[in-house]
Structure 1
Amino acid sequence: MSSTARADATRGRSFATRRWNHRRRPLGANVRKSSTTPRASVEDADDGLVQVGAIVGAHGLRGEVRVLPMTDFIDERFMTRGSTLQAETSAQGRSKVSGEYDAPIGETREVSVRGGRWVTSKGRNDVIVKLSGVDDRTSAEALVGTRLFVSPSDRAPLRNEVGQTSGDGDDEFYAQELQGMRVIDKESGSEVGVVEDVVRGAGTQDLLKVGFSAFDEEFEIDTEFYVYVPFVKDIVPLVDAKDRFMEITPPGGLLDLKTPKKTKAQRAKIAAKAKAASEQ
């Protein structure tokens, strides 16, 4: 069987992800996808809330809002009358650094979903939601830039036992469960790095963004890198949710496809400072 990571995230996008048995998803596989390619974030967010969406626009004149979903459970969160959400009372907007809705959580209030639907416009599928207490366009426009959250206790369990080690059985994970896990090279036993993010794959498989420190040969300094590891069983054969680590068997050359986190100019500046300090 395959395994997945689902979303209902904390401070970023939330989805569930599965380790597929093969490097490509089988044609027609019933996998829930997040509305865009972006990320899910770590489940240690402020107040323990799980981010499930952001209000990105007003729709019509009756107080409906357009929601950017950050969850696999769109019907349950946004289409089900009576579903309860926590909404920010003031807009945090997108981060100027990352472009994501990942700012610290602002003050929130409880809102109830009165209804939701899909609307296709200009080739785009939008999630349109009617929230309690929002009855006209002016009220809806005031919510643009705010985010929607749920409590972690509101999420459905994905496996039979919390923290079980994945094997050949049910292999679904919330993306946030994977973030922060240590990544171990199965053959050598050495630690490769830490899962920093889970990126929803574009039609193939999800990718683990693994961060680590390494020697930068170009500038002869130690620096931070990241590499994307496909979340498939032949590369990630073991995920231990309880002890917070996973083992990988990377194909030759995969870890060499690393990308420095800092720009070339930033690394050159660090190298110049290090050289100046050594010459004093």
Structure 2
Amino acid sequence: MEQMLTIGRIVNTHGVKGEVRVLPSTDDIKRFGKLKEIVVQNRTESIKEIETVRYHKNFVLLKFKGIDNMDDAELLKNSTLKINRKDALPLGQDEYYQCDLYGLKVVTEEGRDLGKLVDILVTGSNDVYVVRNTEKEILIPAIKQCILKIDLEKGEMLVQLLEGLED
């Protein structure tokens, strides 16, 4: 399991005082308000202390200590923001970090190997798991009717395919 979790990406600067605009990749954007520092990863990796957090539309506006103008903030553009797994919000029952699902072997109730989970499509209503083997790709909705069990220790996802999913 990855020890560092990605929670967003700096997509632009905001204003002239060193703020950056972050596109969050976490379900709860308010989680940024609970952080004191964050790992900023671009060509190098550095820990930045968070001075202020604001929310604007679907973005998070961050101001880092020591980044006080637009030119300094511009250098952080396209950086990935990460936190240590121990600092992540706790998960509820049947909740998983997306990064832990990639590479899981996907099998049916009958024991048929469908392939590996290679991508997760985030849609309006529910995520969709992209499962690929050497012959084809299957899209499986992440709903209780289809996803019966996820066993991270075993590296396996047990699924029930609804009619028409393999066509």
Return the TM-score normalized by structure 1.
Answer: 0.55
Q: Secondary structure at the match of 1:117?
A: strand
Choose from 88, 108, 112 the match for 2:45.
108
Choose from 117, 137, 158 the match for 1:226.
137
- Cα offset for 1:157? 3.4
Report sequence identity in percent. Answer: 28
CA distance in structure 1 between the aligned counterparts of 2:100 and 2:4, rounded to whole angstroms:
14
Which residue is 2:131 aligned to?
210
* 1:70 maps onto 2:3 in alignment: no
CA distance in structure 2 between the aligned counterparts of 1:119 and 1:175, rounded to whole angstroms:
25
Aligned residues of 2:128 and 2:140 also touching (Cα < 8 A):
yes
* 1:251 maps onto 2:165 in alignment: no
More strand by share: 2
CA distance in structure 2 between the aligned counterparts of 1:141 and 1:67, rounded to whole angstroms:
13
CA distance in structure 2 between the aligned counterparts of 1:246 and 1:54, rounded to whole angstroms:
29
CA distance in structure 1 between the aligned counterparts of 2:80 and 2:86, rounded to whole angstroms:
18
Aligned residues of 1:76 and 1:83 also touching (Cα < 8 A):
no
Structure possessing the higher radius of gyration over alpha carbons: 1
Aligned residues of 2:127 and 2:141 also touching (Cα < 8 A):
yes
Aligned residues of 2:24 and 2:59 also touching (Cα < 8 A):
no
Give the letter for the 1:71 counterpart: T
> What is the Cα-based RMSD across aligned positions, in Å?
1.8
- Cα offset for 1:156? 3.2
Which residue is 2:61 aligned to?
128
Give the letter for the 1:72 counterpart: D
Which residue is 1:142 aligned to?
75
* 1:241 maps onto 2:152 in alignment: yes
Aligned residues of 2:38 and 2:48 also touching (Cα < 8 A):
yes
* 1:119 maps onto 2:42 in alignment: no
Return the TM-score normalized by structure 2.
Answer: 0.89
Aligned residues of 1:184 and 1:245 also touching (Cα < 8 A):
yes
Q: Secondary structure at the match of 1:237?
A: strand
Which residue is 1:259 aligned to?
none
- Cα offset for 1:109? 0.9
CA distance in structure 2 between the aligned counterparts of 1:134 and 1:108, rounded to whole angstroms:
16
CA distance in structure 2 between the aligned counterparts of 1:107 and 1:178, rounded to whole angstroms:
27
Q: Which runs of 5+ in 1 are unaligned?
A: 1-42, 92-105, 160-169, 215-224, 257-280
- Cα offset for 1:130? 0.8
- Cα offset for 1:180? 1.2
